[in-house]
Structure 1
Amino acid sequence: MVAAAFFFSRNDVSRDKLDPLVASIVYQFSKSPSLWRVLGPRILDTIRSDPRIFETAFENQFQKLIVEPCSEVESALWEELPNVIIIDGLDECVDHLSQERLVSTVRKVITSHRTLIPWIFLICSRPEPQIRDAFTNFNDCLESLDVNSSEKANKDVEKFILDRFANLRKRHPALRHESELWPSKATVDQLVARAQGQFIFAVTVTKYIDTRDERPQDRLDDVLRIYVKAGSTSPYSDLDLLYLHILSQCQKWDQVQPILRLIRTPHRRPSMEQTYGHMNWRSCTRIEDLLGRKRGEVAVLLSRLHAVLHIPDDDSDIEIAHASFTEFLSDTNRCAHYHTQEIPDSEYDDCVATLLLRTLSLLTPFYPHSQMRSALTTSFSSWINTLRDHWSKLTRDSFQYWHDYCVKVNAPSMALLTALNGVDPYCLLAASLYYNFVPCRSHIWQRVVNWAENFGSCTNEFIAKVNIYMQGYRVAFPPEIPRQEAVWQTFEIQASFDDDPSASHDIAAFCREVYGIDKKYIPRRSPILIIFPVDNGILGDWAEVTCTKDDQNTMRDILQVLRWMDLHQRKLLLDDIRKDTCGSVIPGQFETQSLVRMKQLVKKIWEALLLGHDGYVLPHYSFMNPSYNTYSSGPRTNTVMSPILLPPANLGRAMDLPEVEASSPNSDAKSFYTASDLSDTEHDAFIPETPMLVPDDGNSPLTTSCEITPPVIVPANGQKPQGSDSGKRKVSPNDGSPATRTFKRLKWFTVSDES
């Protein structure tokens, strides 16, 4: 019984190498209840002990996941278990050394006296020299069957030919009046003899005859006429002569050959390219894109090659029907002037890069370049519609990989240089954000600029645009975008200046603690905005903010400082930014000038996006004052807790706060809680910047500066909070004295003007 099977195919990048073989076999073991019952626990233990085992060498995978688990099974159990592993098309494994490694590994399993595993390996392959040599040391445990020269193989080929002709007579209109005697027995015998047990000859002949633009009878006569008679000095075999005849039917060989070159060339992915959402790079549509052909041209040009090519009706890849045709095209002694080689790496990368850049350039004419409000409304609507209509896998790959292919090209073509100079980095950034792609970061742009500088004045236009873009740009948000959302998006966009994409979590915490904006409650939707050069602006009610490389350097400094600061220092820094103090300055570690730059960045974004919008105000924040940043240096005095911040009257929703105790400033616990620290229940509650306690006895709220949680929500009209469930809360005043009082456990509640 068959336990597992693996089929190599040089036309399939997922099956043309040795890497996936063991994983495929193990997966098939798992689908066999009888095998998995005895092998499963052992295999799973191995994977748990080494989760990255499938990244190790093939020999190690085979030993650990197949040989060792099977060796532990009692011999008696094998009598009832499947024990045949089929490996078909070994010659289709593109690496010859891998072919030999596989055969050698199987030989060790079969011939070793230490592993009494009753496996039967059925390996099917064309008799390539390196494969024949690899089987020489199997001793008496090897049985071979030459299917080409056996009488049974000839019988199989004859049956195949007769079945194909019978099917053709039933459905082809030109054969309507032919009897079952067509073709004659002599003709069939001749075809069988010429096939020499090889199905590829029989398949190619019958596919060549099966055509609509000529009579099958005439095509069969063509095949019979190219028969190589005994004693002929022709260097070509029957199959080669058949291939030559098929190619001779192509009336536009000069246009067909570039297509065959592309089909022969495997698509080379960038090293970081993901395998999900795989695009068919050898479909008719994609070949037309790569070669600049009109829609439908490829199918027409290849219409006479259906005997040697699989040309699907959908957008799947075109494939060469058999490896023998690929080998034929590669050998000038066999194919003469039809010699067709693969495309060299640099030339192919040039071809792909040009296509990707041209795909991106399709968006540029629709990008709103006008900053006049009257023209912007119409052009912006057209731009959004264009983005929706242009989404495709090709669009995705164009945004993500154009730069990877460009920098691999040694001598760019004029087509690639023209496409490169047409790049609009502002349009690319706005579109990539809409599609939720990772924007090109500074190091990627710099990498392409460094490459482009090698080609003199041909790339000056591209280099000049990118150098200006990399210094900064203006981001414009339409009126319908909430300003809190615009703040979050601004920091996300600004991060593209940085080479570290891992700062998103830190930025989220910063926005939450400084602006009271929680990422959790920012809608998950495509950012709809426009990116302009810094010196441009929009007239009207759009919100605008500049993002510069210096701003991101400042933001990076903020995040780095927050990482190494302890809880108390972090609170001092955030308070300094809010209140324009300087208690966090540490000479030699965190200087005053760095703090000033941080404050300027925070205030700039607040003024551009929050001030006066949507009723969003931050009472008691010092940067509302025009004199912000004009303070005199000196330590901040910690005396009295700042007044509680009252929320707008329409915020709040009922939910219990968690049971959390306050902690001292030196502990690792958070000094105050925000919405993201609570449950995932949907709510829009306001979180005060400063904690507050309401005693059970109804006295005034505790105002001694302390570290305590949870925070308190109070109504906008100043009424007492609702609450229940008295309980102990530990309070650690800043003066170090102990204090324990009983306070209510507060609840969230709906706040309104009537409350």
Structure 2
Amino acid sequence: MEWFWSVLTYSVLCAIAELQVLDDTPQLLRLLSERAAMNACHDAEARYPQPNCHPNTRVKTLARLGRWVEDRGGTVKVCWVYGSAGVGKSAIAQKVSEDHFNQLVGAFFFSRNDSTRDILYPFVATIVYQCCTSIPLKYIVGPLIFDVIRSNTNIFLTTSENQFRKLLLEPFASVAPEMRRALPNLITIDGLDECIDLPSQQRLLGLMDLAIAFHTPVPFKFLLCSRPEPQIRHGIDSSGFASCLERIQISGTTIRLLGVLSESDLDIRRYFLEKFAELRRKYRSVLRAEGEIWPSEDQVNELVWRASGQFIFAVTVIKYVDSMDERPQDRLRTILSIQSGEIQGSPYPDLDMLYRQIILTCRNWDKIYSILQLLVTPHPNLNCVSNSRIQWHSSTIIFNFKIGQVETLLSRLHSVMHIPEDPNFQIQILHASFTEFLLDSARSGQYRVRKYSESEYCNHVTVLLLRTLASYAPWYPPYCSSEQSFDAAFTNWQKKVGFIVHSTLPHLSITHWPDYWCKVESPSASLLAELERFDTYLIGALTLTCACDPAHSLLRWNDCLAWAKALDKKVPQSFIEKLGVFFRGCSIGYHKDTLRLNAVRGTFELECGIVNTSRRKFADCMVDSLTWYYKQWWSEELGSWDFLPMLLPATPEDGILFNELVVVHIPKANASTLKKVYGVYRSLKGGAQKTMFRNDIVHDTSKSAVCGLVEIEDLEAFKALLYKRRDIFAVLPAENSSPWSDSDLSVSDGECDTA
């Protein structure tokens, strides 16, 4: 019988655990996706159109890689595909990932043009996310990975090496050997040279080393594609996996010097012939005078020769010729007429001349220049800011142009840029070689584009964030016209802020505008205008409503004020004055039907932020103590509205009903009391002393003062402050309803020693 109950208990516990796993899987996947660089996946929308091999090209290379991927018993664990810029490495990585998707654990495509995937930090989370969402891995390895995350939700704050070991190597090693050998095993890494931090490149090679040398054999194979940069070549040569490495060079330069076409040349020739055939069909009427043979064989051969094995040259030529602006034969003639000898010392003279010709056709270069300047500047990865969900380079975000203007300005750059139809998606430079061309004055000449400094770029972002916040002013109830009822205005405001969710631009604007502002060294005219109209009450209300840690976010405003003062005359005096007035005191108002507990907590959050005491645990503890009566003894639920505080200028009266608001005044004078009490609370030793302090607040006693833990004046001032807030929000029970007797509230002999 005992055995029966043991088995039954075990079964029930297993069932509960299984339900728990099922219940929290969406939350764990959401946590993973927030840490991952979703743009780096092989099927990411942000990479559309993904580079891919043209049909019937790279046949030998793809066949060789295919045999390697499918060979379960081979000794080669790393295949390094390398070559110069534009030869088609990313297309090969994409093609292999698609053709062998059933063997794919995950892929990561680095790009220096996308700040979410130009660093090592999100690499492991991205591979793990793909592992947990693909069949069959999500059923076999996924639960093991989720167990690790449950046991340490901060694992993504540890090193990439630890993440890789705990989230990939150990879960895979835990699978039974016969099953492990049958699991998907391919990890694709493209563009390692586009990881902007050179030491991180070596660390990623170290992760591969870690996998191959792991004490329990894991089945991983790594397809690594990159340029043969010296630091990468050295890292590979000195790695522990050099003995199980295969190298595949994508280049035809050496063979072409002997007068023989390489595989790259033959593939590019095939690509040209097929694409020109498509153009002949598309522009039949325009090309009717050219005859059936257009372009001529000599012209095709010239283009193949100029491509020098670079597929990017061929792709760009076709996109440039395929234009409604001019006749395709005229555009082809222009390309063939340009002389690469004009560019001295360029590693890619023909490609550079092609890029110059494309830019030459553009109008309004000054406006295009400002757009390109933003596109070639990586978005700064501030430690405190997670920006993986923000499409920074979409036309609706960073560019201050009218709707459709960005698309019109960039229309003649379609051969080198991807301009999505949806204005909320990223505008992308299609290839790193064009970015390098723009940044190198020796190659681009008069078309050289200068990167923004961090200060200049943060200036643009700060303008964007402050404009986003200012756009909420028409819906802020205190600013609504008298013709509209307050309840109607409040309902509209409730709907408006309800769309502010984590990782969206409005949420990032609320929580992180100070981080970007404090990086600006010389505000632009646009930023000065935004600072002039900065509204502390509107933005403060949004912060209290939507920020994860309102007190901390408001505390950052102190840094903003200090930075503004440091910049002195560069900043509008009105901005400094508005922040100064705010920190000297303001009022907070709630709809009369707001939940009282929310109102008490929100007021205390604001108090902590204004008086420079951002201590979340302390604040929570004090508010919990303050509202003990309410939670234990009050049977009615006071209020039904969501927590939507209104901030207003300071007013001398508390607790009044003003335009349907219960208003509380928060003066700067409370700062001294709060700071002193926090200092005392932080110095208390052990749970007994803190419990005594909390009980003094709950019971209105003075045990902690009698025991010398706190000055009686400070304790009484603090209690008076909290009780005043409590009285305003009517969370006290009827008078004389305290459940404690006098003996409960007295100090017994030796109690101070125990505490």
What corresponds to 1:124 in structure 2? 225
Q: Is structure 2 residue 417 aligned with structure 1 residue 309?
A: yes
Q: CA deviation at 1:265?
A: 0.8
- Alpha-carbon distance in 2 for matches of 1:47, 1:485: 31
Alpha-carbon distance between aligned partners in 1 of 2:593 and 2:136, rounded to the nearest angstrom:
62
Q: Deviations over 1:563-620 (max 9, x none)?
A: 764767755653337xxxx67751633444334424533553355443xxxxx88433
1:533 Cα deviation from its structure 2 partner: 2.0
Once the two structures are superposed, residues 135-192 of structure 1 have per-residue CA deviations (whole angstroms, 9 ceiling, x without a partner) of 5568775543332216322222223223333444444575585876433333333322
Which residue in the other structure is 1:89 paired with?
A: 191
Which of 547, 560, 574 is 2:698 aligned to?
Answer: 574
Q: 1:14-53 maps to which residues of 2 (within 5 A)?
A: 14-25=116-127
Q: One-letter code of the match for 2:110?
A: F
Q: What's the counterpart of residue 324 of structure 1?
A: 433
Shift, 1:296, TM fit: 2.0
CA distance in 1 between partners of 2:141 and 2:630 (Å): 57
Aligned mates of 1:594, 1:519 — CA distance in 2: 33
Which residue of the partner structure matches residue 447 of structure 2?
338
Which has more radius of gyration? 1
Aligned counterparts of 1:285 and 1:432: Cα–Cα separation in 2: 23
Indicate conservation of the 8 Å contact 1:6/1:87, yes or no: yes
Letter in 1 for 2:609: S
Q: Which residue of 1 aligns with 2:323?
A: 211
Give unpaired runs (5+ residues) of structure 1.
611-615, 622-644, 646-688, 692-703, 708-733, 736-755
Matched, 1:407 2:508: no
Question: How far apart in 1 are the matches of 2:526 and 2:643?
Answer: 33
Q: Higher relative contact order by CA 8 Å / sep ≥ 6: 1 or 2? A: 2
**Paired residues of 1:429 and 1:531 also in contact (CA < 8 A):** no
Match of 1:534 among 629, 651, 657: 651
- Inter-partner Cα distance in structure 2 for 1:52 and 1:590: 36
Percent identical residues: 35
Q: Are 1:187 and 2:299 matched, yes or no?
A: yes
Residue from 301, 309, 333 that aligns with 1:197:
309
2:259 equivalent to 1:153: no
Change (3 A) 1:270 1:50: closer
Query: Is 1:247 aligned to residue 359 of structure 2?
Result: yes
Equivalent residue letter for 1:513: W
Query: How far 1:42 moved relative to its partner?
Result: 9.4
Change (3 A) 1:58 1:423: closer
Give me the whole-angstrom Cα distance separating, in 2, the residues matched to 1:311 and 1:44: 38
Report the AA paired with residue 447 of structure 1: D
| Cα separation, 2, equivalents of 1:451 and 1:511 | 36
- Give, in whole Å, the separation in 2 of the partners of 1:690 and 1:228: 92
> Once the 2 structures are TM-superposed, how far is the Cα of residue 346 of structure 1 from its aligned partner?
1.0
1:79/1:377 CA distance change after superposition, 3 Å = closer
CA distance in structure 1 between the aligned counterparts of 2:597 and 2:136, rounded to whole angstroms = 59
Contact 1:512 1:518 in 2 (8 A): no
Residue 148 of structure 1 aligns to which amino acid in structure 2? Answer: S
Q: Which residue of 1 aligns with 2:720?
A: 600
Say if 1:243 and 1:325, in contact at 8 Å, map to a contact too.
Answer: yes
Report the TM-score when normalising by structure 2. 0.68
Whether the aligned pair in 1 keeps the contact of 2:518 and 2:563 (CA below 8 Å) is: yes
> For the residues of structure 2 that align with 1:121 and 1:585, how far apart are their CA atoms?
66
Pair 1:547-2:647 in alignment:
no
> Corresponding residue for 1:299?
407
> Is 2:522 aligned against 1:420?
no
Say whether residues 1:471 and 2:574 are aligned partners.
no
User: CA shift at 1:402, angstroms?
Assistant: 1.4
Residues 1:499 and 2:614 aligned together: yes
Which letter does structure 1 place at the counterpart of 2:380?
R
1:353 aligns with 2:462: yes
Compute the displacement of 1:13 (Å). 3.3
CA RMSD in angstroms, aligned pairs only: 4.6
Counterpart amino acid of 2:734? P
C-alpha contact 1:259 1:287 (8 A) present in aligned 2: no
Return the offset for 1:205.
0.7
Conserved in 2, the CA contact under 8 Å of 1:207 and 1:307? yes
Report if the CA contact (8 A) 2:597-2:627 is conserved.
Answer: no
Higher helix share: 2
- 1-side partners of 2:171 and 2:595: how far apart? 60
Distance 1:410 1:214, change over 3 A: same
Counterpart selection for 2:625 from 497, 510, 516: 510
The 1:266/1:619 distance shift into structure 2, 3 A limit, reads: same
Once the two structures are superposed, what CA deviation does each residue of 1:357-397 show, in whole Å capped at 9, x if it has no partner? 233334457656689xx949668855864675586633322
Seen in structure 2, the aligned counterparts of structure 1 residues 530 and 128 have a Cα distance that, compared at 3 Å, is: closer
Query: Contact 2:335 / 2:354 at 8 angstroms: preserved in 1?
Result: yes
> Matched residues in 2 for 1:429 and 1:409: separation?
21
Please tell me whether residue 258 in structure 1 is matched to residue 365 in structure 2.
no
Amino acid at match of 2:295: P
Superimposed CA distance per residue, residues 53-104 of structure 1 (whole angstroms, 9 cap, x where no aligned partner): 6655555666777778889999999986666544332322223343345456
Mapped partners of 2:485, 2:133: distance in 1: 58
- Checking the alignment, whether the CA contact within 8 Å between 1:366 and 1:379 is kept in structure 2 is no
1: distance between equivalents of 2:153 and 2:595?
45
The one-letter amino acid of 1:545's match is V
Classify 1:415/1:506 alpha carbon distance in 2 versus 1 (closer, same or farther; 3 Å).
same
* Structure 2: tracts of 5 or more residues without a match: 1-69, 71-102, 253-260, 750-755
| Counterpart residue identity of residue 99, structure 1 | Q
The secondary structure found in structure 2 opposite 1:420 is helix
How far apart are residue 405 of structure 1 and its match?
Answer: 1.2
**Count of aligned pairs:** 615
1:287 alignment partner, SS class: coil
Is contact 1:573-1:584 (8 Å) kept? Answer: no
- Shift of the alpha carbon at 1:30? 6.5
CA distance in 1, matches of 2:516, 2:735: 53
Change (3 A) 1:429 1:72: closer
Partner deviation per Cα, 1:262-314 (whole Å, 9 max, x = no partner): 001111243222356x111101122323xxx2222211111111111111111
- Per-residue deviation, 1:527: 1.2
Q: 2:637 & 2:184 partners in 1: Cα distance?
A: 52
Distance 1:113 1:432 in 2: 47
Q: What is the distance in 2 between the residues matched to 1:470 and 1:490?
A: 14
**TM-score (normalizing by structure 1):** 0.68
Aligned partners of 1:287 and 1:298 also within 8 Å: no
Cα distance, 1:239 vs structure 2 = 0.6
How many angstroms apart in 2 are the aligned matches of 1:27 and 1:99?
Answer: 21
CA separation in 2, counterparts of 1:602 and 1:59?
48
When residues 448 and 233 of structure 1 are mapped into structure 2, their CA distance, relative to the original with a 3 A threshold, is closer
